[in-house]
């Protein structure tokens, strides 16, 4: 794969967490970086921090759940930064509650960002990448897009959809002989602010239900976003589709689920790798 120098990277959810770490890594690779996020103050601060280090970093406010906002983002990127080579659909939100306690507005919020946000960005950016026959897409799913966990039905459903969408698109690009690559990033426990997602909830949806109480590992005890970004870039460089931040810890749960499906067993927690809980802070189901 050719170097990244001078190419344009667009990263959504880039004001903090994995998104910011990916943007910072892209800047370190010599890319022109467009940081997109709905949080305007934090977004500008993030871009300013990268520019202070000599990066060509542009802050562009966008709501990925809004098709028109993403269409405007794509037009602005083309006009102000150039042709997108790396598209990282990273914006994500998380709410936790049993299915029976999660109202429709919460589903709309979670699916609007986590699933429709990916669809909107692909529809806005991918045609140009295909026309140029150049570039790479990374869709951020989750370990929860490969297994299931309790009390997170909307998040799990959205992330499984992102995984399946990405895998199907990979097959379609391969069949078409396209040079455009695609990867799905499946993080487990990474030190981000995703548990505070409700602060970006559209006012029209009203307040979110409180998060279901559960124990999460302290942020200083889990993988840092910079390490996740390094893992992602290694995967892109190697044109790997599957990029897992914690492959060893997640393998047991992924294997057990697949074997249970083949065997026709009802979902259970038996035979799961105990490291899964350590990596995710959650119990699979």
Q: What is the residue extent of each domain of the chain?
A: 8-247
List all residues 6 or more positions away from 118 whose beta carbon is below 8 Å from its beta carbon.
Answer: 64, 89, 139, 162, 165
Per-residue confidence band for 208, with pLDDT thresholds at 50, 70 and 90: low
pLDDT in tens, 20-76: 999 999 999 999 999 999 999 999 999 999 999 999 999 999 999 999 999 999 999
- Whether residue 280 has pLDDT greater than 80: no
pTM over 0.85: yes
Residues marked active site are found at 155
- Residue 222 near residue 243 (C-beta atoms within 8 A): no
Quote the CA–CA distance of 235 and 226 in Å, as a whole number. Answer: 14
User: The domain 8-247: what is its CATH number?
Assistant: 3.40.50.720
pLDDT in tens, 91-109: 999 999 999 999 999 999 9
Residues, the chain: 285
List all residues 6 or more positions away from 254 whose beta carbon is below 8 Å from its beta carbon.
Answer: 146, 147
Q: Which of 168, 92, 121 is nearest to 9 (CA)?
A: 121
For 19: left if phi > 0, alpha if psi spans -120 to 50, otherwise beta; the answer is: alpha
Instruction: Using only the alpha carbons of the chain, give its radius of gyration.
Output: 18
Place of tokens 């890319």: 31
Q: Which of 53, 54, 8 is nearest to 35 (CA)?
A: 8
Where is average pLDDT lowest: 27-36, 84-93, 184-193? Answer: 184-193
pLDDT in tens, 171-180: 999 999 999 9
First to last CA, the chain: 39
- Residue 155 near residue 181 (C-beta atoms within 8 A): no
pLDDT in tens, 233-278: 999 999 999 999 999 889 999 999 999 999 999 997 654 555 555 5
Mean of the per-residue pLDDT values of the chain: 90
pLDDT at 285: 43
């Amino acid at each position: 794969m050719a170097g990244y120098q001078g190419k344009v990277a667009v990263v959504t959810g880039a004001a903090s967490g994995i998104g910011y770490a990916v943007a910072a890594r892209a800047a370190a690779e010599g890319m022109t970086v467009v940081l997109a996020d709905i949080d305007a103050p934090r977004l500008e601060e993030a871009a300013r921090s990268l520019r202070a280090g000599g990066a060509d970093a542009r802050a562009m406010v966008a709501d990925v759940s809004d098709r028109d906002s993403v269409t405007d983002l794509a037009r602005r990127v083309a006009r102000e930064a150039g042709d997108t080579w790396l598209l990282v659909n990273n914006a994500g939100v998380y709410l936790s509650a049993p299915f029976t306690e999660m109202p429709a507005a919460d589903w709309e919020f979670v699916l609007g960002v986590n699933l429709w946000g990916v669809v909107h960005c692909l529809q806005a950016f991918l045609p140009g990448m295909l026309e140029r026959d150049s570039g790479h897409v990374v869709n951020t799913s989750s370990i929860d897009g490969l297994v299931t966990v309790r009390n997170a039905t909307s998040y799990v459903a959205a992330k499984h959809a992102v995984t399946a969408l990405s895998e199907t698109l990979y097959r379609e690009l391969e069949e078409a002989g396209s040079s455009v690559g695609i990867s799905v990033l499946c993080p487990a426990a990474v030190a981000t602010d995703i548990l505070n997602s409700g602060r970006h909830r559209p006012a029209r949806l009203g307040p979110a239900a409180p998060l279901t109480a559960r124990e999460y590992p302290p942020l200083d005890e889990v993988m840092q976003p910079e390490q996740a970004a390094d893992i992602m870039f290694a995967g892109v460089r190697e044109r790997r589709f599957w990029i897992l931040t914690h492959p060893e810890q997640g393998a047991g749960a992924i294997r057990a689920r697949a074997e249970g499906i083949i065997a026709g067993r009802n979902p259970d927690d038996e035979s799961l790798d105990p490291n899964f809980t350590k990596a995710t802070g959650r119990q699979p189901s």
